[in-house]
Structure 1
Amino acid sequence: MTALTALTALCPPPPTVPPAPDWSRIEDTLGMNLPQDYKQLVATYGPGQFCDFITLYQPDAPSEWADLTGPMPARLRTQIEEVRQTARHPWALPHSPEDLFAMGVTGNGDYLFWVTQPADSPDEWIVAVNEALRAPWFTYNGSLAEFLVATLSGTTQIPMFPKDLLGHGATFAPATLRSNTPTTAPRTSVSTRAIRDWANANGYDLPERGRIPIEIIQAWEQENSNSG
């Protein structure tokens, strides 16, 4: 039994979901390949929340706060080290910030990351959970789908998650059906392709694939903010 099969048995997906994105385009935009189980999760469940708590980032999401292809993953990667260095007693990081790619968030502001090593083997990436960019950290030595099965079945207790997370069982609520999901005004999804094109047109030495440094994202945001 695959982890996804176990998850759908544990937590039934909605009867209909939005069409799956063009993964080739998404991976080209990100400059990296994505785990197959994540693609299957998106295709099976679509946007929404597990147990009214866990939200997975989606490609081209209307809000940058949940957009896998937007600037948030790079922002968070930089902020982790900034928060740690400004703490009164800096803590040790279990993973290099450069190896962390944010792909989910919880209702308490905890972040879910892939540990992107080996870089060319995304199906081997494990999951790290962080409490609001601070200590503590929890690392799950398995895939995202396996992490969700372990968490929603109660076989693994994530220290920073509520103890009553499964008080109403393992559930999934599609985003389009949730009345209490925070909403933002629709925006034009900005992919890293647009940022990459802008950077190359403005003299930055940026390869076609790979992560975009946060300073380039910030420069792009500043120029577009000024032009708006």
Structure 2
Amino acid sequence: MTSIDRLTRLCPPPADPPPVDWDAVEATLGFRLPEDYKQLAATYGPGAFAGFIRIFHPHGITEWVNLTGSVPTTMQEQLQRDRAAGRPVPYAPRSLFAMGVTDNGENLFWITEPRDDPDPWHLTVNEARGPGWYTFNGALTEFLASVLSGETDVPQFPVTLRQAATAFVPSAPHASAPPSPGSTPLPPDTNVIREWARANGYDLPPRGRVPAAIIDAWTEANHAE
């Protein structure tokens, strides 16, 4: 059984994910993508696994979760600054391509070595608000199937993830459309929401999922501003 087959058994995909023009996507990025990622994106479309892990998609509903958006470049620049400041970055920043995020603010990266042969790429996860990194020696679909089945325990992920439903929840319909005028996309680091929540009197722990009510309150407040 392939890893994508195993994943679809754990998390049934939606009935009608949007088609992807992979030639256009790879031309925009300037490099080829792993075949297992293209299978994943074509099978599921944009959305979240277990309400926690969001893999970037060419039809991501905001720039924060769009594979061809600004986040991968922004993250590379941040990692270069971190390494220059002496903070631990276990791989050359330019070899790390951000392709996912959790609702707790951890980032998932491909280790793009060798650059011209994407199928063997492994992935690594950094800690949202700390120096920790975790590397998974396998492909993205293998990682998702292993984490969601409980076989792999990522130190940066909350223990409650293993108790969560393994369902895949698609993003809102017509996810390829740009956000409506005046909408407020979520920041890539949920620490922004956490800091706002504490400053506004919400009782919120430093780790774990940000409750939907607090996300809605942050969105409403920032839209109003």
- Normalising by structure 2, we get a TM-score of 0.74
Q: Is the 2:82–2:89 Cα contact (8 Å) retained in structure 1? A: no
Over 3 Å counting, the alpha-carbon distance change for 1:26 and 1:186 in structure 2 is farther
Question: Does 2:69 match 1:37?
Answer: no
Residues 93-113 of structure 1 deviation map (CA, whole Å, 9 limit, x = unaligned): 211101000000000110000
Letter in 1 for 2:51: D
Q: CA deviation at 1:27?
A: 0.4
Give the structure 2 partner of residue 185 of structure 1: 180
Distance 2:117 2:103 in 1: 30
CA change 1:186–1:76 in 2 (3 A) is farther
Q: Which residue of structure 1 lines up, in the alignment, with residue 126 of structure 2?
A: 130
The percent identity for this pair of structures is: 47
Name the CA shift for 1:153/1:27 in 2 (closer, same or farther; >3 Å): same
The reply to whether residue 65 of structure 1 matches residue 64 of structure 2 is: yes
Structure 2 segments unaligned to the other structure (5+ residues): 183-225
Q: Distance in 1 between matches of 2:8 and 2:161?
A: 18
RMSD: 1.9
Q: Which residue of 2 aligns with 1:217?
A: none
Query: Residues 5-43 of structure 1, C-alpha deviation per residue, up to 9 Å, x if partnerless?
Result: 01111111122212x211011101100000011111111
2:40 aligned counterpart, secondary structure: helix
The TM-score normalised by the length of structure 1 is 0.73
Pairing 1:54–2:53 present: yes
- Whether 1:171 aligns to 2:185 is no
CA shift for structure 1 position 61:
2.8
Where 1:139 maps in the other structure, the secondary structure is strand
1:16 paired with 2:11, answer no
Q: Is residue 92 from structure 1 mapped to residue 88 from structure 2 by the alignment? A: yes
CA contact (8 A) 1:80 1:134 kept: no
What is the rounded CA distance, in whole Å, between the counterparts of 1:128 and 1:186 in structure 2?
Answer: 35
Q: Residues of 2 paired with 1:149 and 1:45: CA distance?
A: 14
Letter in 2 for 1:33: R
SS of 2:144's partner is helix
In the superposition, relative to structure 1, how do residues 56 and 49 fare at CA in structure 2: closer, same or farther (>3 Å)?
same
Which among 110, 116, 120 is matched to residue 120 of structure 1? Answer: 116
Bigger relative contact order, structure 1 or 2 (CA pairs below 8 A, ≥6 apart): 1
- Which secondary structure does the structure 2 equivalent of 1:166 belong to? helix
Q: Please, which of 126, 139, 142 is the counterpart of residue 143 of structure 1?
A: 139
Q: For residue 60 of structure 1, report the CA deviation from its aligned partner.
A: 4.5
> Which runs of 5 or more residues in structure 1 are unaligned?
178-182, 188-228
Aligned residue in 2 for 1:213: none
The runs of 4+ residues in structure 1 deviating greater than 6 Å are none
Deviation at 1:92, TM superposition (A): 3.1
- Counterpart Cα distance in 2 of 1:26 and 1:133: 31
Name the SS of the counterpart of 1:149 in structure 2: helix
Whole-Å Cα distance in 1 between the matches of residues 7 and 181 of structure 2? Answer: 31
Secondary structure, counterpart of 1:29 in structure 2: helix
Aligned length: 178
